[in-house]
A and B are shown apart, each in its own frame.
Chain A
């Protein structure tokens, strides 16, 4: 068992997976939150109802969300080449990961903000708050748990995406599992890569649970 394991290759692949997951999650969090807030704020009966902006954001979100990730990577090849300069390696996976996961997270944010949105808006407006204050001082603080849960689910999905990206040249644990585990039939490499990915996912879940426990007021 584990006779084919190359420690150095595994450490490198592990680092690459962590890098891709962490950096893209960070960007997805920022872009997704902004897009989610836009969807929420311009939605029906919201603070800044705007059919045109809502429809445009909504359609883009839906289209991007429905493209299978593998195809999205391929579609984005020219774009990736333009901004990263290459289509190989961990860095090259970032545009596809970010563009693929942002719409998903944005919908989760929209959902969680809408949960108590109507009455929170009413409360803010009744006390003379501006739209900006309603979002920053009322809606976001009150929806923090949902926002964290959302990014947790998204981050776990992104870890999964990295291995798809890895299989077509982005590096990381997925690449290792594909290259050695699949094409050379080294099952122990596949198993170790899987265990490490499970480890990453459990770690993300653990951090999320700790954070939520800390801010939940019951």
Chain B
């Protein structure tokens, strides 16, 4: 759906040149929620803006839909392209002098007069985002969460295929973040959207992202599905981010001196209800020490265990676990 190839972008500042993006290559699959996370200055906001060409890359190509490189589109085609790739913003970017209804209709008003069908569509979107009764309110009469709902409805009015979210929850409180993320998830399912979310908050990733790209200093540190990121983080940046939501297994591993018999287990919902550990303990007569256990965002079980017993017993225990559908990784 979105294919970034060898993207580089440099900004000139007073202090010299700043490499915001360094040879970034990334694929984003259709109909997924793809999170891009990293500390500030990692280049993630620039990356998302390259997708809709609010920033033009210095080198590399951005392939989206049928276009091999959207940078080559002329002005008119870029405008048409941007109707298919909508965006919501950290500070909502609503027009203060316009009502909720007018704000949502803005993308249409910028091109033509509102038709009867547009008005119906706007009303449907107001219902979809749960803002019935606020049609004629002005943005500064709304709460932060409501403002972002207006932003979301406005982004959907052009019937986009891709929704870009630039720190959509960073200006919101914890309680509101959840409801806004729920909404994004719902509309993605309903409208078959591809969603790209830039965030610095691992909670956002945990809550709704299926795929995750971790960035640091203009480079992609790693990119994988959320389970693999948690199960098998490759970089200290990722581990650090996982630590912020209590999912940094490495942190628990490093507390132990001998790591010889430590394993990380990842297993599906289907076996979550089986008494897996006590079963293998009985069969293979080993001792298992559970050091850490949690449930991943995709409702998979993740566990860090230490198996005590002789080597052959340990081996057969592991075989047993694998046969039962558990992913096992030696630390």
Whether A125 pairs with B54 at a CB distance below 8 angstroms is: yes
- Within 54-110 of B, Cβ neighbours of A (below 8 Å) are at 54, 75, 78-83, 86-87, 89, 91, 93, 95-98, 106-107, 109-110
**A7 at the B interface (CB under 8 A):** no
**B190 at the A interface (CB under 8 A):** no
**B138 at the A interface (CB under 8 A):** yes
Q: Which residues from chain A contact B97 at a C-beta distance below 8 Å? A: 141-142, 144, 215, 217
Whether A127 pairs with B158 at a CB distance below 8 angstroms is: yes
- The contact string, 1 if C-beta is below 8 Å from chain A, for chain B 295-325, is 0000000000000000000000000000000
Q: Which of B86, B91, B95 meets A142, CB within 8 Å?
A: B95
Q: Which of B98, B107, B141 meets A127, CB within 8 Å?
A: B107
Q: Which residues from chain A contact B52 at a C-beta distance below 8 Å? A: 126
Whether B95 pairs with A126 at a CB distance below 8 angstroms is: no
- Within 135-161 of A, Cβ neighbours of B (below 8 Å) are at 137-138, 141-142, 144
In Å, the complex CA distance between A122 and B164 comes to 13
Please judge, given known A-B contacts A217-B138, A218-B138, whether A128 and B93 are in contact too, CB under 8 Å.
no
Whether B54 pairs with A124 at a CB distance below 8 angstroms is: no
In Å, the complex CA distance between A208 and B204 comes to 47
Closest to B94 in A: A123
**B256 at the A interface (CB under 8 A):** no
Whether A129 pairs with B138 at a CB distance below 8 angstroms is: no
Q: Which residues from chain A contact B89 at a C-beta distance below 8 Å? A: 119, 122-123
Q: Which residues from chain A contact B140 at a C-beta distance below 8 Å? A: 217-218
Residue among A119, A124, A127, A215 with the highest chain B CB neighbour number at 10 A: A127
In Å, the complex CA distance between A125 and B164 comes to 14
Closest to B91 in A: A119
Whether B93 pairs with A123 at a CB distance below 8 angstroms is: yes
In Å, the complex CA distance between A124 and B82 comes to 10
- Within 97-153 of A, Cβ neighbours of B (below 8 Å) are at 119-120, 122-130, 133, 137-138, 141-142, 144
Whether B54 pairs with A128 at a CB distance below 8 angstroms is: no
Please judge, given known A-B contacts A119-B91, A123-B89, A217-B138, whether A128 and B82 are in contact too, CB under 8 Å.
yes
**B14 at the A interface (CB under 8 A):** no
* Number of residues from A at the complex interface, CB < 8 A: 20
Q: What bracket does the count of chain B residues touching chain A fall in?
A: 20 to 34
Q: Which residues from chain B contact A125 at a C-beta distance below 8 Å? A: 54, 82
Whether B138 pairs with A128 at a CB distance below 8 angstroms is: no
Q: Is the interface of A mostly helix, strand, loop or mixed?
A: helix
Whether B54 pairs with A119 at a CB distance below 8 angstroms is: no
Q: Which of B80, B93, B109, B154 meets A137, CB within 8 Å?
A: B109
- Within 172-218 of A, Cβ neighbours of B (below 8 Å) are at 215, 217-218
Whether A127 pairs with B54 at a CB distance below 8 angstroms is: no
Whether A119 pairs with B93 at a CB distance below 8 angstroms is: yes
Shortest CB-to-CB span from B158 to chain A, Å, is 7
In Å, the complex CA distance between A127 and B86 comes to 7
Q: Which of A120, A126, A138, A217 meets B54, CB within 8 Å?
A: A126
**B255 at the A interface (CB under 8 A):** no
Closest to A124 in B: B110
In Å, the complex CA distance between A156 and B79 comes to 43
Closest to A127 in B: B107
Closest to B78 in A: A128
Q: Which of A122, A128, A133 meets B80, CB within 8 Å?
A: A128
Shortest CB-to-CB span from A65 to chain B, Å, is 27
Closest to A217 in B: B138
Residue among A122, A128, A138 with the highest chain B CB neighbour number at 10 A: A128
**B115 at the A interface (CB under 8 A):** no
Q: Which residues from chain A contact B138 at a C-beta distance below 8 Å? A: 217-218
Whether B91 pairs with A127 at a CB distance below 8 angstroms is: no
In Å, the complex CA distance between A21 and B98 comes to 33
Q: Which of A122, A137, A217, A218 meets B110, CB within 8 Å?
A: A137
Chain A interfacial positions (CB closer than 8 Å to B): 119-120, 122-130, 133, 137-138, 141-142, 144, 215, 217-218
Known: A141-B97, A217-B96. 14 other contacts (CB 8 A): A119-B93, A122-B93, A125-B82, A126-B82, A127-B82, A127-B107, A127-B110, A128-B80, A128-B82, A129-B79, A129-B110, A129-B111, A138-B110, A218-B138
Could you list some 17 contacts between A and B, CB below 8 A?
A: A120-B95, A122-B54, A123-B93, A126-B52, A126-B54, A126-B86, A127-B82, A127-B110, A128-B80, A128-B81, A128-B110, A128-B111, A138-B95, A141-B97, A144-B97, A217-B97, A217-B140
